[in-house]
């Protein structure tokens, strides 16, 4: 049965039902929730009775190093144009592993559910998680479910941890950054942040922008298979491109020079930022990465990324320079320069 068929069947079966405190008690209600709903989307068939842990098979990856990450997702609203918290919980953790050059393999899933949460909401989230896991070719192998009283959390929170493997010859780290390297991103900036703003409905904002949420593991592995030497890489999430580049500049004791005219930002995103006084350089993304690559390989890297589904609008947006060490500076369209500092405070809370 497909994910969508499973989703429709369960929506009909649990129509109008809600989560109660009994679903977190460890008894029959919880067992029914896990067996009939959660495992319907995230379970692994033919693995026998459930245990309190997963035994991971890494035999196909001899001599690899193990990588691990964890993240929690508290986005509001739970569903927004183009994506939802279920997609984020999988792709965010997959992407954190991927930008090290690792191959993501296994994920955990911790659910914190608020008493009164409609079953149909949980079913939608789990279906989204299953779809993203399938897209990223990863397995959710163990998890935990807790139910808290009304008002103790906002509907539903998710924690996912991820395990991946990394070849011994791959070394993608900030200290590798060198003067002359090129700054490359894989597409338009700010879409996720604007999609969240529109979905909240607080500003009567109308937009056609969808979240860019997507797994990036295949894109990264494609670059590595073409022997592109990647010096550093990071997914561009909270704090936006500006924050990531400041971390690069400070960690490598170099400067970053951005070219404003090269930044790929949709006109609609620019318009929203102008109206609300936001800077698209600080808006969150959930399907974008910034990679630092030696100048002689940069054009080839952009060509490879542009031919990939997850990098069709890839481009060079700047370079690593010896000047203004530890800082990011942007060359404006009008010829002047301005310092692009790290984000101070929170431009938009609970975006992931």
pLDDT digits over 6-64, tens only? 999 999 999 999 999 999 988 999 999 999 999 999 987 667 778 889 999 999 999 99
User: Is the Cβ–Cβ distance between 224 and 296 less than 8 Å?
Assistant: no
User: Is the Cβ–Cβ distance between 73 and 158 less than 8 Å?
Assistant: yes
Query: Which two structure tokens, joined as six digits, stand for 198?
Result: 């529109």
Residue count (the chain): 352
Burial 309-335 (b: 16+ CB within 10 A, else e): ebbeebbbbbbbbeeeeebbbbbeeee
- 139-148 and 103-114 beta bridge pairing: parallel
Name, in order, each residue with C-beta under 8 angstroms of 27's C-beta and a sequence gap of 6 or more: none
User: Is the Cβ–Cβ distance between 132 and 272 less than 8 Å?
Assistant: no
> What pLDDT does 180 receive?
98
> What pLDDT does 345 receive?
72
pLDDT digits over 309-352, tens only? 999 999 999 999 999 999 999 998 888 999 999 887 767 788 99
Predicted structure pTM score: 0.95
- Top CATH class of 174-339 equals alpha beta
Q: Choose which CATH entry (1.25.40.10, 3.30.230.10, 3.30.1330.10, 3.40.50.2300) describes domain 3-166.
A: 3.30.1330.10
- pLDDT means over runs of 10, the chain (352 residues): 95 95 93 94 78 92 97 97 97 98 98 98 98 97 96 97 97 97 98 94 83 98 97 96 97 97 96 92 96 98 98 97 97 90 80 91
Domain coordinates in residue numbering, the chain: 3-166, 174-339
Query: Which two structure tokens, joined as six digits, stand for 131?
Result: 């779809």
């Amino acid at each position: 049965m497909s994910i969508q068929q499973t989703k429709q069947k369960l929506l009909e079966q649990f129509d109008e039902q809600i989560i109660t405190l009994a679903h977190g008690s460890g008894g029959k209600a919880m067992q029914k929730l896990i067996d009939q709903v959660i495992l319907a989307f995230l379970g692994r068939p033919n693995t026998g009775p459930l245990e309190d842990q997963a035994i991971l098979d890494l035999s196909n990856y001899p001599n690899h190093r193990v990588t691990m990450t964890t993240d929690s997702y508290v986005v509001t609203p739970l569903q927004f144009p183009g994506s939802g918290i279920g997609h984020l919980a999988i792709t965010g953790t997959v992407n954190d592993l991927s930008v090290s050059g690792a191959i993501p393999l296994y994920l955990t899933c911790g659910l914190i559910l608020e008493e009164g949460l409609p079953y149909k909401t949980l079913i939608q989230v789990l279906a989204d998680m299953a779809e993203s896991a399938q897209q990223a070719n990863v397995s959710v192998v163990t998890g935990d479910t807790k139910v808290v009283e009304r008002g103790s959390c906002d509907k539903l929170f998710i924690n996912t941890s991820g395990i991946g493997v990394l070849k011994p010859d791959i070394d993608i780290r900030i200290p590798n950054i060198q003067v002359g390297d090129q700054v490359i991103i894989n597409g338009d900036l700010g879409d996720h942040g604007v999609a969240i703003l529109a979905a909240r409905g607080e500003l009567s904002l109308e937009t056609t922008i969808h979240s860019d949420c997507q797994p990036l593991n295949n894109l990264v592995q494609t670059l590595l298979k073409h022997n592109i030497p990647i010096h550093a890489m990071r997914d561009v999430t909270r704090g936006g491109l500006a924050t990531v580049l400041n971390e690069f500049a400070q960690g490598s004791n170099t400067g970053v020079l951005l070219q404003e005219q090269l930044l790929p930002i949709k006109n609609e995103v620019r318009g929203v930022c102008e109206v609300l006084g936001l800077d698209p350089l600080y808006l969150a993304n959930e399907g974008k990465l910034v990679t630092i690559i030696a100048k002689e390989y940069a054009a080839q890297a952009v060509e490879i990324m542009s031919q990939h589904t997850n990098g069709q609008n890839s481009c060079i947006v700047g370079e690593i320079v010896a000047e203004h060490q530890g800082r990011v500076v942007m060359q404006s369209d009008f010829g002047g320069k301005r310092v692009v500092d790290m984000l101070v405070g929170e431009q938009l809370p609970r975006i992931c």
